[in-house]
Amino acid sequence: MLLQHQERAGDAVGAVIARTDYTRRSPFSLGGRGGHKEWHHFCVLGEEIALLVNFSLSDDVRPQAARGAELARLTLLVRGAEWDGDVESFLPDEVVVRGGRIDLAFGRNTLRFQDGVYRIAVALEDRPVTVALELRPLAMPGVAPNIPLPDGPPLRWVIVPRLSANGNVTLAGRAYRFANVLAYHDHNWGHFLWGHSFSWVWGYSLPLDARVPWSLAFVRLTNRTRTHALAQGLFLWKHAWNHRVFLDDHLELRMDLGHLRPARLFKVPRVMGLLSPETLPDVPRWVEMRAREDGDALRYRFEARHLAQVVIPSETDLSVTIINEVTGTSTLQGRIGGETIDFRSRAVCEFLGT
């Protein structure tokens, strides 16, 4: 009954998503500021397999690049018994992006929003991974329009915290099926360079039991050493609606002083592993966020399990920027408006570092 209610709500939010989640595009080719980045990110955590898909566009700020040139990349991470996936880049004549819509084609890989549903089709060139998914939104999008960055204008963030995923993933010849599995999507855009002096921790949680109506996302943006918070927020949905937001001074984040130590560290693209071979990632084993305001209180705790790294060349020096994608489990407990919240979930945390 709850899933049917959510699917009906998903039909209603399609028009709102079309007005908020559309691809913005860079103003660089029209004489505007360079350094624009934009990406559409999706996560699906099933019982047997975890999937992260990211379509990204970035202004090519290299001195030899033509004005207005963009770098189009597809990042795909999939975890069955172990990690697989890759980062693929595309030539300009392989890329079709329609601004003002959600309609991207990177080679034979596509992301489209049609009839109130996101449709993703991906087939990696050099790895035995394919994805064919339909994701129906079950909650109204949340918009964070002004996340401050220290070296430029603010970052924008649209969150669709809860979707129903249906489709297939093939990994090394084995087929996996998603049937009404809860999923997450966000969309980010703004002007910054990889290597600027900031870091972030971001995460989301969706309940193991789809009858539980709660969905959660949070973000904490800091200086590079994570000693000073520039902004932070925790966003809670009930059914299709944003139910509660905690910001800045009403949040406290704690992280394990130790670090996650996987036996084998998976990195993409594989060639970048040669430039960043270290096996001691700066990723805590747990993260805890406490929120309290006006009699409402929440305690969120993420326990890390599996780690993969996306390694990006710095745009400010000869180093690299590392995005740590961490899957695990989480708990959310507390009271909002006198209502008790207590559930477990599959979850993802992402740690941006150097």
pLDDT at 266: 93
Amino acid at 283: V
> Contact, 190 vs 149, CB < 8 A?
yes
The distance between the two most distant Cα atoms of the chain, rounded to a whole number of Å, is: 59
pLDDT at 8: 55
pLDDT at 61: 84
Dist CA 58 CA 37 (whole Å)? 4
pLDDT at 10: 54
pLDDT at 181: 97
What are the two backbone dihedrals, phi and then psi, of residue 270, each rounded to the nearest 5 degrees? -60, -35
pLDDT at 320: 85
Hey, CA dihedral for 243, 327, 111, 165, is it positive or negative?
negative
Helix, strand, coil distribution of the chain in percent, nearest 5: 10, 60, 30
pLDDT at 9: 62
Tokens of 241: 């609606």
pLDDT at 282: 83
- In DSSP terms, which residues pair with 156 in a beta bridge? 189
| pLDDT tens digits for range 312-343 | 988 888 788 899 999 999 999 999 999 999 99
| 3-state SS, one letter per residue, for 123-156 | ECCCCCEEEEEEEEECCCCEEEEEEEECCEEEEE
Mean pLDDT by 10 residues, the chain (354 residues): 53 89 90 91 96 96 86 97 95 94 98 97 96 97 82 87 97 95 97 86 94 95 77 95 95 89 88 66 92 98 96 85 95 97 96 77
Amino acid at 215: S
Output the CA–CA distances (angstroms, integers) from residue 187 to 57, 141, 251, 316, in the order listed. Answer: 12, 10, 23, 24
Domains of the chain, CATH where assigned: 2-353 (2.40.370.10)
* pTM of the shown model: 0.94
